[in-house]
Amino acid sequence: MKYLKAYSPSVLFQKRNFGLDLIRTIAIGLVMISHLGIQPEYVGGLRIGQLGVEVFFVLSGFLIGQILIKDFSNGINLSVILHFWKRRWYRTLPLYYLIIILKFIFIDHSLGYKIIVYFLFLQNNFVGIDFMGVTWSLVIEEWFYLSLPLMLFVYFYFHKITPQKLMYFILLFCFFENVMRLCWVIYTDRGYEAINGNFPFRLDSMMCGVFIANLRLNFNNYYQIFTKTYIFITVLIIYSILLFVFGTTNLKEGALDELLWTRTIWFFSNSLLLALFIPYFETFFKNGVNYKNPVYTIITYISIFSYAVYLIHQEIYHYILKSELFSAAWLIESIVAILLTFLISGILFIFYEKPMTDLRDRFSKRKALK
């Protein structure tokens, strides 16, 4: 009973922000719905699964950015960087490697020795993502976690990090990332997907989240501006217009692969506007969340299980979804697949994912006591 008590809402929901949990729930919902077979033509040309992933990108940047800014506030050195990597990899790698290994052993071992690229997060650029499609986004995230501390270390090696200098770094990074992406598209004329999954050209998506994190910690007066309802509505209107233009463009066959803006500035514009929603959600639900309300509880648990859900849902869909799209049988199969996904994700969280993060936290406490 003591073991199960650690997973009760009163314990598990401590220090959580419901607004951010709601964002994460929306993101995983968009991804799951899209993989049920909902194609862009059914939703105004929007790739709703892609939008869900982009939400994950900016949210990860926001959360990781706060950790890095706090950790590096007293100086950046290799010890701090290694500590950051260790904590991040304890959170992301164990479950990812478990799912990859289980699938390779029991379901699909056609890649042979090439499966190693999945362990090194190089699949996007070498063997492709046919083995496990959802991992394309994890490649981008993991390379961001690896590269950002190193870039900060180099940039601030000779002088102390300050909020202003950090903001200059963020803005310069986004500028050069967009210039680099533009030059690459002009030089190679690669299509939309070739840019979308190519991690050197997508890191600014998470940097937009770091930008908001720096506002929150070091320029809170500006951060508070984006918590206002009228600013939220303004950003929502602008973002809706952007989505309409992109969706309308996507309905024209081949347009995304031919137009310049859809392969360049679209990625940054999409991420920046999504990032600007974070302050409103993060502060709006800060007080007065009643977890006795089942709606709040369900949304929070979905958020907590979202990493496992993201990794396994497409595999479960593959074996359950067999009927024609939008048929009665398809609806029943979809409900069964979704429920089974959350059941297995809950089991993975209880018996594997949380024990791993608890182990990480115990190691961190021991190190702090020494």
- Residues of the chain with pLDDT > 90, as a percent, come to 85
For 219-228, the pLDDT digits (tens) are: 999 999 999 9
What integer pLDDT is reported at residue 369 of this predicted model? 45
Lowest-confidence range among 68-72, 126-130, 268-272? Answer: 68-72
Kindly state the DSSP code that residue 128 receives in the 8-state scheme: -
pLDDT at 91 exceeding the cut of 80? yes
Residue range 82-107: mean pLDDT, rounded: 96
- The domain spans of the chain are 10-369
What integer pLDDT is reported at residue 125 of this predicted model? 92
> Between the CA of residue 144 and those of 48, 64, 65, 72, what are the distances in Å?
23, 10, 11, 17
The more confidently predicted of residues 78 and 321 is 321
pLDDT at 180 exceeding the cut of 50? yes
For 136-173, the pLDDT digits (tens) are: 999 999 999 999 999 999 988 877 889 999 999 999 99
Residue range 95-105: mean pLDDT, rounded: 98
Residue range 83-87: mean pLDDT, rounded: 93
pLDDT at 1 exceeding the cut of 70? no
Lowest-confidence range among 98-107, 147-156, 158-167, 322-331? Answer: 158-167
Q: Return mean pLDDT, the chain.
A: 93
For 10-20, the pLDDT digits (tens) are: 677 888 899 99
Cβ-proximal residues to 184 (8 Å cutoff; 6+ apart), any chain: 190, 195, 201
> What is the rounded distance in angstroms from the CA atom of residue 210 to the CA atom of residue 72?
14
What integer pLDDT is reported at residue 139 of this predicted model? 98
pLDDT at 342 exceeding the cut of 50? yes
Query: 166 with 210: CB under 8 angstroms?
Result: no
What integer pLDDT is reported at residue 358 of this predicted model? 87
> Between the CA of residue 60 and those of 71, 119, 170, 210, 235, what are the distances in Å?
16, 21, 15, 9, 20
- Please choose, from the candidates 142, 137, 135, 120, the residue with its C-alpha nearest in 3D space to the C-alpha of residue 312: 135
User: At which residue do the structure tokens 């990493």 appear?
Assistant: 307
What integer pLDDT is reported at residue 284 of this predicted model? 87
pLDDT at 359 exceeding the cut of 90? no
> What is the rounded distance in angstroms from the CA atom of residue 165 to the CA atom of residue 72?
13
For 276-294, the pLDDT digits (tens) are: 999 999 998 776 677 778 9
Q: pTM score > 0.85 for this model?
A: yes
Instruction: State the SS3 of 66-108.
Output: HHHHHHCCCCCCHHHHHHHHHHHHHHHHHHHHHHHHHHHHHCC
User: What tokens were used for 159?
Assistant: 């002088």
- Please choose, from the candidates 21, 46, 28, the residue with its C-alpha nearest in 3D space to the C-alpha of residue 249: 46
Residue range 190-211: mean pLDDT, rounded: 97
pLDDT at 2 exceeding the cut of 80? no
pLDDT at 81 exceeding the cut of 60? yes
What integer pLDDT is reported at residue 3 of this predicted model? 53
**237 burial type by CB count under 10 A (0-12 exposed, 13-18 middle, 19+ buried):** exposed
- Please choose, from the candidates 124, 145, 135, the residue with its C-alpha nearest in 3D space to the C-alpha of residue 61: 145
CA 205 to chain centre: 10
